[in-house]
């Protein structure tokens, strides 16, 4: 089944009620939890057990964590997450920079694909539903935009039988790698793969530099499966949430328009997990 057919038949979880008409400047005063129970709050966690931190995250109201694979302490993490009742919803593939699926070297691409398969297996083992993947990088005449497009799609398609068998989504993240800097490009890249087990892991802060984040969300639509949560500003670069140029009220409107429901994960620091929890709740209506 093609990805678009899958989305049409499976449907999306609807959001009830009318979205707030508050403007962007009023977001810090807006305490209405429109997305509570529909958006699930997480932080990047890593691959080792830290029981004290897991318990703290649970107490702060986080719904889960995201690991880094392959190479995780699978048995330890499964036991700790189960004990704390804080699931690991997925993993970040931690070798996608060194062993790029877009590399001009076929052996490197093979190693990258096999590493991705290992990450898929580990995500399944810890109870996750996805692997975050950066598909490559534009590095010059031997690794152009077109080559990243073609090579990465070829390698991604090779892992899809395993991904579908285990029920793990391969979710593509946009980063500052020279690839798909326009939302329409990223949309077309995902549509070229056209498989229900591939979607977007959209990073709200990463792409604010190239177009307003709410425009990316509008263009990508139901292709978005999960979100990374960052802020970025022309004057201060990556910064604590709410201190950059992201228009969070517009982001929330667009998430409402596409009926988004799923995991959002904070990457980066805000001065501690407690401050991160408060900021995510306020800016995302949780």
3-state DSSP of 225-250: EEEEECEEECCCEEECCCCCCCCHHH
Q: Can you give the pLDDT at residue 31?
A: 57
Q: Can you give the pLDDT at residue 26?
A: 52
Q: What is the mean pLDDT of each run of 10 residues along the chain (286 residues)?
A: 49 35 47 83 94 97 98 97 98 97 98 98 98 97 98 98 98 97 98 98 96 98 98 96 97 97 94 94 94
Q: Can you give the pLDDT at residue 177?
A: 97
Q: Burial, 179: exposed, middle or buried (Cβ in 10 Å; 0-12, 13-18, 19+)?
A: buried
The predicted-structure confidence for 23-78, as pLDDT tens digits, reads as follows: 444 555 555 788 888 999 999 998 899 999 999 999 999 999 999 999 999 999 99
Q: Can you give the pLDDT at residue 160?
A: 98
- For the chain, how many structural domains are there in total? 1
Element (H, E) at 139: none
Q: Rounded CA gap, 230 and 208, in Å?
A: 9
Q: Can you give the pLDDT at residue 17?
A: 33
Q: Can you give the pLDDT at residue 24?
A: 44
Q: Which of 179, 260, 258, 247 is nearest to 213 (CA)?
A: 247
Residues spanned by the domain of 163: 3-284
Tell me the CATH number at 57.
3.20.20.150
Q: Can you give the pLDDT at residue 37?
A: 85
3-state secondary structure of 198: strand
3-state SS string over 153-195? HHHHHHHHHHHHHHCCEEEECCCCCCCCCCHHHHHHHHHHHCC
3-state secondary structure of 58: helix
Q: Which two tokens stand for residue 271?
A: 């001065």
């Amino acid at each position: 089944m093609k990805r678009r057919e899958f989305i049409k038949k499976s449907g999306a979880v609807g959001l009830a009620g009318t979205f707030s008409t508050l403007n962007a400047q009023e977001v810090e005063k807006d305490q209405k939890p429109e997305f509570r129970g529909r958006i699930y709050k997480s932080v990047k966690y890593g691959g080792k057990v830290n029981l004290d931190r897991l318990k703290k995250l649970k107490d702060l109201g986080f719904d889960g964590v995201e690991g880094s694979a392959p190479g995780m302490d699978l048995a330890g993490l499964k036991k700790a997450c189960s004990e704390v009742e804080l699931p690991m919803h997925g993993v970040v593939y931690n070798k996608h920079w060194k062993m790029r699926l877009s590399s001009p070297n076929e052996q490197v691409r093979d190693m990258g694909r096999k590493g991705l398969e290992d990450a898929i297996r580990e995500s399944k083992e810890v109870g996750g539903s996805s692997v975050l993947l950066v598909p490559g990088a534009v590095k010059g005449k031997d690794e152009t935009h077109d080559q990243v497009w073609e090579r990465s799609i070829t390698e991604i398609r090779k892992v899809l039988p395993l991904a579908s068998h285990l029920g793990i989504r391969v979710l593509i993240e946009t980063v500052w790698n020279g690839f798909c800097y326009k939302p329409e490009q990223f949309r077309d890249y995902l549509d070229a793969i056209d498989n229900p087990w591939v979607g977007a892991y959209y990073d709200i802060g990463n792409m604010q530099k190239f177009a307003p984040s709410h425009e990316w969300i509008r263009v990508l639509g139901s292709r978005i499966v999960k979100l990374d949560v960052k802020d970025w500003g022309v004057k201060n670069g990556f910064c604590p949430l709410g201190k950059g140029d992201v228009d969070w009220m517009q982001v929330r409107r667009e998430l409402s328009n596409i009926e988004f429901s799923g995991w959002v994960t904070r990457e980066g620091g805000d001065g501690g997990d407690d401050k991160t929890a408060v900021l995510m709740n306020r800016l995302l209506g949780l």
